[in-house]
Structure formats: C-alpha cells, structure tokens
Amino acid sequence: MERLCLRSRRSLLRLGTRTYGPPGTVLMRQGDPGSMVYLLRSRDRSVSACVKITTADGRLLAIRVSGDVIGELGALVPDSLRSNTATVCTPTIVHRIPGTAFMTFLETHHDGSLVLCRSLADRLAWSDQRRLDFGDHQVRVRLARLLVEFVESYGRRVEAGWELTVRLSYEELGNLVGARVDAVGKAMKELGADGSVCLMKRHVIVRDLENLRRAAELTDVFGKDARVT
C-alpha cells in the first residue's frame, strides 16, 4: 500500500468488502479454487496485521503483514487453484476484493501494476535468499537474519527494544530458516546469551539490534550505518 500513490490507494480501498478477521480465520486454503484477493490492514495501530502462509500440512512458508495483498495469483491466473493456505494470526481488517475488480484496478492504475510486479519480485528474491542462506550459513546466522527482517517488517518499539508482534513457534521459525526445532532452540539460546534477544510472554524481544545484525553477519552486507528507523 505504501508504494501506491494516494489516488490509487484510495481506489483500492473502495474495492470489495471490508471485514474483520480474528486470529485463526482461514482466508484461503491450498487446493481450493478461488480468485478473491485480500488486502490486509491493521485493526490496532500498535500491532501489525499478520497472516501466516502455510502448506496444507501446516509448514510455514512466509508471513504477510499490513499493506500486503494475498491471493493475487488467483486473479492473475483464471481457474487456478490456491497454492497455499493463509491464516490470520493477529486481529486484522481484511478487504475482500473480487478478482475481476482487482484486475480492472491494475488495468486502470499504472502504478498498481508496477507495485504488484515489484512485490512479486521481492517475494522471489526473499525465497532465493533463504535458499542461499540454507547452504552458506549456520542456523544461528540464518535465524538472526530472519529476526532482523521481522523487526524491519513489523517490529514494534518497546522499552526493552523491538517486539515481534507475531508469535512463532520454534518449529515455525525452523520452517523459515530450514532447521530442526532443536537447532533453532540452541540458536535462540546463543542469541539470548549475547544479549541480542529475549522472550517475554512468548513474544520475541530484540534487545540489541546492532548486536543481532552482527550475529546475522549483515554489517558487511549493508554497511555499518544500515539501521531500522
């Protein structure tokens, strides 16, 4: 949403039906037909909207947050089946947009088509980077990189540092970094021991972002001045 011009943003928000999606709501299920597109928005400004993208057997593939759209491939490819399952995990406002209306929006708003292409490219790049990380880095580094990305995507500033507003199990974190549960647990303990992260009420708190960046070996990649603002 933030990449769209104001006119396009307003046009998109007028499409479809606005509903409330409480945690646990399944927006689409892998293997089902459907062309509905879902625009995600926060219900509470202090907590990002969050939807888990999983396989049919529950393996976590990705997370989508406020301002994202999901289900767009169903609109772009008529008569296709859903390639994954999308489940709401924080209180979320969902704009349900019929596929035909979404396609008309793309045809009449040039920046909408461009933003969608960039979003799809970003997701492919994210997947490619995960695959590279699996082969080139230890679990601790892969997990640290993921947590840095989470802070940048939907971290909330709190007194203790940055809170990740979505709760993820070690198994789900393992799905995202390609590691077993015990390896994720060991990596979390190591990151906790060096003061980078801690757990509070089942939420991950990033206490020292710069320390976490060093653990993620990102200072050499992005430069020492790369920071979340």
Each residue of 43-55: pLDDT tens digit?
Answer: 877 777 889 999 9
What is the rounded distance in angstroms from the CA atom of residue 159 to the CA atom of residue 148? 18
pTM for the full predicted model: 0.79
- Give yes or no for residue 222 having a pLDDT over 80: no
State residue 204's pLDDT score: 87
- Give yes or no for residue 226 having a pLDDT over 50: no
State residue 186's pLDDT score: 95
| 182: CB partners within 8 A, 6+ apart | none
State residue 126's pLDDT score: 78
- Give yes or no for residue 191 having a pLDDT over 90: yes
Q: What is the pLDDT of residues 87-118, one digit of tens each?
A: 998 889 999 999 999 999 999 999 999 999 99
What is the rounded distance in angstroms from the CA atom of residue 229 to the CA atom of residue 221? 18
State residue 225's pLDDT score: 40
Q: DSSP class of residue 80?
A: P
Q: What is the pLDDT of residues 49-87, one digit of tens each?
A: 889 999 988 888 888 988 999 999 999 998 899 999 999
- Give yes or no for residue 21 having a pLDDT over 70: yes
State residue 125's pLDDT score: 84
CA nearest to 76, candidates 119, 41, 42, 40: 119
Length of the chain counted residue by residue: 229
Which of 20-29, 113-122, 134-143 has the weakest average pLDDT? 134-143
Say what percent of the chain tops pLDDT 90: 58
